[in-house]
Amino acid sequence: QIIDMIQRLIKSGHAYEAEGHVLFHVPSYSEYGKLSGRNQKEMLAGARVEVAPFKKDPSDFVLWKPSNKDQPAWDSPWGGGRPGWHIECSAMIEKHLGETIDVHGGGQDLVFPHHENERAQTTCVHGGKLFSHYWMHNGFVNVEQEKMSKSIGNVLLVKDLLEQAPGEAIRVTLLSTHYRSPLDWTDDALEQSSRNLDKLYGTLQELQDIEVEVSTKDVPTEFLHALKDDLNTPAAFAELHKLAKQVNSKKDPASKKNIKKQIMAAGNMLGILQQEPSKWFRGIGDLDESEIQNLLDSRAKAKKDKNFELADGIRDKLTAMKIQIHDHPDGTSSWRKL
């Protein structure tokens, strides 16, 4: 597959063989540099590496290169060798996804030269046909303002994070920053995501007596506009919370039903709010629910009697048990395991 693609590039005049190498001839593709926003002349002026003498143009890049005795090698029309860095991806995409794909993603560090070169060779081998409709390059995840790295030892594993917070809270933390921007992962950010979900689940709990059937038609318009704006998830969350705040101002059941449908439809699109509010607030684990409920009842009575010192003491006791209380506008309370 790779060799066949290289041969087609040679045949179309976009590649050439030189001293056992096959190189893509960058000047043959006038769109080169547009993905990364780079000018070819500026790239050459800023280059500090010595240019191989067999290159027709300094910016030409390798499609196939010869192997030394201690390197992996495959037979080819140009002798024993191995593929260049970029051609492998083009060949795999052509074989499994076709000539044009909808979305191509990757980290921001891959925009140049990898994706720029991949775009050039794929477009040219298919006669100028569009390679990808959209390119999405994500920012990096930092931990406490340091780059996540195995060498530093600050790599976060999902299984470990799930011991700190529910999976939906992890998802919300990741979506709280635009995907193109760097994300600074902190314990505080994860806790804030849990609290934000508490508010949304609290709203759904207030509407639990209202039965609804949700479809994609119920996705809020402004929420959808935010996602259509380069997947602006922070703006989408803002619209979701704005919608939840409207519940208290709505008195008629029809309006509340419509809000519930919109919140749930938006949640489905983001992969959150996927469980019953009661389950969210209680969490998972071997807890003595009757003891917790007795404490909640005692706290409610203390608040009613204006014995706020006792009420605060009960809350502190529940917090020590890793139980978080959520007070609702109607005077009731619910809980979940931290």
Cβ 236 vs Cβ 262: under 8 Å: no
Residues of the chain with pLDDT under 70: 41-50, 283-287, 338
pLDDT at residue 289, as a whole number: 77
Q: Which residues pair with 88 in a beta bridge?
A: none
pLDDT at residue 331, as a whole number: 78
pLDDT at residue 19, as a whole number: 93
Contacts 24+ apart (CB under 8 A), 77-83: 77/3, 77/7, 78/17, 78/20, 78/21, 78/22, 79/20, 81/20, 83/2
Cβ 111 vs Cβ 35: under 8 Å: yes
pLDDT at residue 310, as a whole number: 87
Express each pLDDT in 98-119 by its tens digit.
999 999 999 999 999 999 999 9
Other CB atoms within a 10 A radius of the CB of residue 207 amount to: 22
Cα–Cα separations (whole angstroms), residue 76 to 31, 87, 191, 236, 287: 29, 15, 56, 52, 66
Cβ 14 vs Cβ 25: under 8 Å: yes
Q: What are phi and psi of 245, to 5 degrees?
A: -70, -20
Express each pLDDT in 184-203 by its tens digit.
999 889 989 998 999 999 99
pLDDT at residue 197, as a whole number: 94
Cβ 21 vs Cβ 53: under 8 Å: no
Looking only at the bridges linking them, the beta strands covering 146-147 and 141-143 are antiparallel
Instruction: Tell me the whole-structure pTM to 2 decimals.
Output: 0.75
Q: Report all structural domains of the chain as residue ranges with CATH numbers, in order of start.
A: 2-138 (3.40.50.620), 157-278 (1.20.120.640), 283-337 (no CATH)
Rounded Cα distance, 50 and 47, in Å: 8
Q: Using alpha carbons only, what angle is made at residue 275 by residues 205 and 182, rounded to the nearest 5 degrees?
A: 105
Residue 122 carries which side chain, given as an amino acid letter?
T
Cβ 331 vs Cβ 299: under 8 Å: no
pLDDT at residue 42, as a whole number: 66
pLDDT at residue 1, as a whole number: 95
What value does the CA radius of gyration of the chain take, rounded to a whole number of Å? Answer: 28
pLDDT at residue 173, as a whole number: 97
